[in-house]
A = this chain, B = another copy of it.
Amino acid sequence: MRMNILVTLNSHYIKPLTVMLKSLFINNPGESFHIYLMHSSMTEEELAGIRSYVEREGHALSVITVSDDMFKDAPVIKHYSKEMYYRILAYQFLPEALDTILYLDPDLIVINEIRSLYSTDISHALFAAAYHDRLSVKEINRLRLRPYDIEAYYNSGVLLMNLARQRERIDEHEVFAFVEENKLRLILPDQDIINALYAKDIVKVDEVRFNYDPRYYFYYKLASNGKVDMDYVVKHSSIIHFCGKKKPWNKNYSGNFHSLYKHYEKIALMPQPV
């Protein structure tokens, strides 16, 4: 059964998105993907490039162009664009027939199968996500988002969505009201919205398997008494998510998964045989 993948994109992220998709395709052989790409500013030429890439790999692409007036009631915050609403309101733009979709950030690579993530039972939830289970992060974010009674602070870079339920339960006016009220303290707006409003409606998935953050390599290893080492991660983690400001495609990045990222970048951007 085909898996639906949601990505959002602007021109700065074409290269990382290509790498992410290549890693997804190559490490899920025998699977068929339908990529839904939401954007507001890509050129026809850029979109054609992505389309031919996805189709050459044997998968399907649908482009959803969001014009700014579609969120005409939405409040904006300082340097954030209205793209911050794409993830949470995607259900409004996706085909009615779609019940499930997996949102993936472009700053990650998929190094093992994701069928088991896609099959997570979210029939009674809005989302499935991992939270980055380090006390300090959780505490800071709970504090920051008080008085919202959040259970945990989920990372929204990998987000399995129950679209059918979202259509019933997510109200854009509630979302816009929340943003309006909390303008000044939102740091990662889309992630903050999802956590503040819907944390109780999120199924937790394993962070090491589905949202491994390489900045915490030594933390994971220590916390697991050495079990979650490089060998374990390469064999068992499906998603390596390069969170934070430093990105592995930039000069002077350094980190334990740099060489692996560069490997996928190389094969993704390799000239194709004609």
A:224-241 near B, CB below 8 Å: 226, 229-231, 233-235
A169 partner residues in chain B, CB cutoff 8 A: none
The chain B residue with its CB closest to the CB of A240 is B259
Nearest-CB distance from A5 to chain B (Å)?
Answer: 22
Instruction: With both chains docked as a complex, state the minimum distance between the C-beta of A135 and any C-beta of chain B, in angstroms.
Output: 25
B residues less than 8 Å from A183 (CB atoms): none
How far, in angstroms, from A36 to B255 measured CA to CA in the complex? 37
* Secondary structure of the A contact surface, majority rule: helix
Q: A229-B251, A251-B229 are known contacts. Are A263 and B263 too (CB-CB below 8 A)?
A: yes
Which residues of chain B have C-beta atoms less than 8 A from A229's C-beta? 251-252
Q: Are B262 and A263 in contact (CB under 8 A)?
A: no
> How far is B234's CA from A235's CA once the two chains are assembled, in angstroms?
21
- A260 within 8 A of partner (CB): yes
* Residue contact A263 to B266, C-beta cutoff 8 Å: no
- Cα distance A111–B257 when bound, in Å? 16
Contacts of A251 in B (CB 8 A): 226, 229
Considering the complex, give the chain B residue whose CB is closest to the CB of A29: B273
Partner of A234, one of B253, B257, B262: B262
Cβ contacts under 8 Å, A262 to chain B: 230-231, 233-235, 260
Partner-B contacts on A (CB < 8 A): 111, 226, 229-231, 233-235, 251-254, 256-260, 262-263, 265-266
